[in-house]
Amino acid sequence: MLNNVLQKIGLSDKDSEVYLACLELGTQPASVIAKKAGLKRPTTYLILEGLLKKGLVSEYTGSNVKYFTAVAPEYLLNYIDKQRRELTSHQRELEEYLPQLQSLSNPYTLNPKVRFYEGMAGIERVMNDTLTSTEPLRCFSTIKSRKYLEDDYSDPDAQHQMSHFRWLPSDISGVFYNEINIYDNKMAIACLGKNEMLGIIIESESIANTQKSIFEVAWRAATPSKWELNSKKK
């Protein structure tokens, strides 16, 4: 449990084991810490050097032997705060140079950009990207997949995305096992199978335009919802 907590603040599994060993043992040489952590001495020494650079252990030399001491647990809060400040600084620097990085991207590349994301976290990243759409979102979905996504992915800003919907014939809608979203120059796919859960984003203007045309054909052939029919009567 403690190991998992330390990993969440950026320490590796071995970093966590060595820090906890240091904390429990008090001031000790690397050989004693290695035995407690269940690691080889050279490996432990390298990890201690890394923790030293992070400011999570201190050292002193006595009788030609290096001794290491873990910092107090409450210092870990300072460590997280330091990371936060560094990330903020890196973000500002990246924002400053972002235009230069974007200028290096070749807008005339022939190959579509394809990104894969695994697991529910990957699907969430894909769904988050759909929120960046600058135009109405076109979506192929099923009641089952839509409910699944709404249960596991809830964002108040996303509610406007399904402002209109229509029903496809059952013999056609039955082939849609995934959710497909088309927006701007992208197509996002959320695969929700039991043994295959992943998200895919294809960034290509020609592919997106083709999919938009297919969507428009399907939209015209679909049955309007009661909500749409009632709104037309008003």
Query: Hey, what domains does the chain have and what are their CATH numbers?
Result: 2-70 (1.10.10.10), 113-233 (3.30.870.10)
Per-residue pLDDT of 204-218, as tens digits, reads: 999 999 999 999 998
Per-residue pLDDT of 83-97, as tens digits, reads: 899 999 999 999 999
More confident residue, 154 or 98: 98
Per-residue pLDDT of 122-132, as tens digits, reads: 888 998 999 89
Tell me the CA end-to-end span of the chain in Å, nearest whole number: 59
Question: Which of 5-14, 68-77, 156-165, 166-175 is the most confident on average?
Answer: 68-77
- Exposed, middle or buried: residue 108 (CB in 10 Å: 0-12, 13-18, 19+)? exposed
Coil, helix or strand at residue 108: coil
Query: Percentage of the chain surpassing pLDDT 70?
Result: 81
Per-residue pLDDT of 156-177, as tens digits, reads: 554 444 567 777 776 655 566 7
Instruction: Assign 3-class secondary structure to 140-162.
Output: ECCHHHHHHHHHHCCCHHHHHHH
> What pTM was estimated for this model as a whole?
0.47
